Chains A and B, each alone.
Chain A
Amino acid sequence: MGPPGAFGLLSRRYEAQYGLDYRMLGKLAVTQRNHALLNENACEKLRVPITIDDYMNSRMIADPIRLLDCVMRADGAAGLMMMSRKRAKQKGLSKTVIPIGYAELTNFKGGENLVDVTKSGHEICGKKALDAAGLTIKDIASFHPYDDFIIAILLQFEAFGFCKAGAGVQFIRDHDFSYNGDLPLNTGGGQISAGQAACSSHNLVEAVRQLQGEAGKRQVKDTSNALVTGIGWINYGRNWGSSAALVLVPE
């Protein structure tokens, strides 16, 4: 069945439970693509403008998953230097970013057999990471969720508490996720529009760039923090098996 099929099953179930306006998923796809247009490091093949109609008309892969829902593998690399504050000071590095909250959860509801597939471990590890950071979800200045399929972003809006379960479509309708909007989202294009070169490191590197004020034309105004997430694999009949959340702040 492959990952598109697994996310097709998730999407169709979400639609049956809550209704799903696919044009709002298209809005997320367009927002991320616009960010990739401003990111010179994004995969060149993907640096072509798209519209919500382009999203809606892109060919079905695993109905209701369309081509423009899917992440594209690409060649590339990403790297971060991690060190103690002391070492950073010795090296004369002036721009540093600090992880102040991290949590992950594997095997969400593993002791239950029949689960609500629209929910994930992010609802638990998201709270833990935010608590550790002393923040609430409303404090988040920019959001860099793992994006292998567009629907995963909607599910994470709900799991992290940006909105209630089932209210993701309305949340998308009500907010501007551009780099200069009220909740900047995957400002480098996300994996879906920058290319999945080194798995979720793209979104992490982008968050670090933003907090260092080095994001060029797509620089967000509020660099007080960033929330980066990870997800891993789809279990049989469940949502993703591993959920991670990381809150970063500039030093």
Chain B
Amino acid sequence: MSKALNDTLGVKRAIKHFDFSEPYWEGTKQKKLVIQYCKATGKYQHFPRPVSIFTGRRRDIEWREVSGKGVVFSYTVAQRGTPAFRGLEPYAVVSVTLDVGVNFIANIVNCTAAELKVGMKVKPYWHPLDDGTHLLMFQPDNGPA
């Protein structure tokens, strides 16, 4: 992999919001990562669901802001994108284990193919969308906070 990776910032995104994921999207307006936390078990979950996956109960869910920092759990480099991303290859998709113990799948930017490794530290990159929300992407976290 000698080629540089492309970002996918130019892609038009039309993202459907479910009612139960609205707090997540509200958070992104301020570039805050707000995810679901189960009060009964003390565990985080992502992606948003109507209920706690640990107890099955709606009332156990609350929303908490987290740092968005984590390490790469896995990655893939698309050489043949799905239609909306055609022409932007190669670009990378990462699964990141956030420091609160959930995996988050997103694009990664500001990163070369040579840098990209399982276990590398990453931090959020907030990509603005037309509706005022932001799309969470990741970028390498090279320095101290």
**Which of A25-33, A92-100, A107-115, A121-129 is found at the contact surface with chain B?**
A107-115
- Docked CA distance A42–B73 (Å): 38
**A2–B82 CA distance with the chains assembled, in angstroms:** 7
- Which residue on B lies nearest to A12, using beta carbons? B74
Contacts of A8 in B (CB 8 A): 75-78, 93
Report the minimum CB–CB distance from A229 to chain B (whole Å): 24
Complex alpha-carbon distance, A173 and B83, angstroms: 38
Q: Are A62 and B53 in contact (CB under 8 A)?
A: no
Nearest Cβ in chain B — how far from A108, in angstroms?
Answer: 13
> What does DSSP make chain A's interface, helix, strand, loop or mixed?
mixed
Check A62–B79 contact: CB distance below 8 A: yes
How many residue pairs link A and B with beta carbons under 8 A? The number is 82
Chain B residue at smallest Cβ distance from A63: B77
Q: Which of B13-21, B43-51, B57-65, B134-142 contacts A (4 or more CB under 8 A)?
A: B43-51
How many residues on the B side are at the interface (Cβ–Cβ under 8 A)? 28
A8–B73 Cα distance when bound, in Å, is 12
- Taking A61-B79, A236-B47, A236-B105 as contacts, is the C-beta distance between A110 and B53 under 8 angstroms? yes
Contacts of B90 in A (CB 8 A): 63
What residues on A are CB-neighbors of B104 within 8 Å? 237
- Cβ of A241 within 8 Å of any chain B Cβ, yes or no, is no
Nearest chain B CB to A94 CB, angstrom units? 48
Interfacial chain A residues near B54, Cβ < 8 Å: 111, 113
How far is B90's CA from A61's CA once the two chains are assembled, in angstroms?
A: 10
In the bound complex, what is the Cα–Cα distance between A59 and B97 (angstroms)?
29
For residue A48, CB closer than 8 A to chain B, the reply is no
Known: A9-B93, A236-B105. A113 touches B78 (CB 8 A): no
Closest 4 CB pairs of A and B: A8-B76, A13-B74, A16-B118, A63-B77
* Chain B residues close to A by CB (< 8 Å): 1, 43-47, 53-54, 73-80, 82, 90, 93, 95, 97, 101-105, 118-119
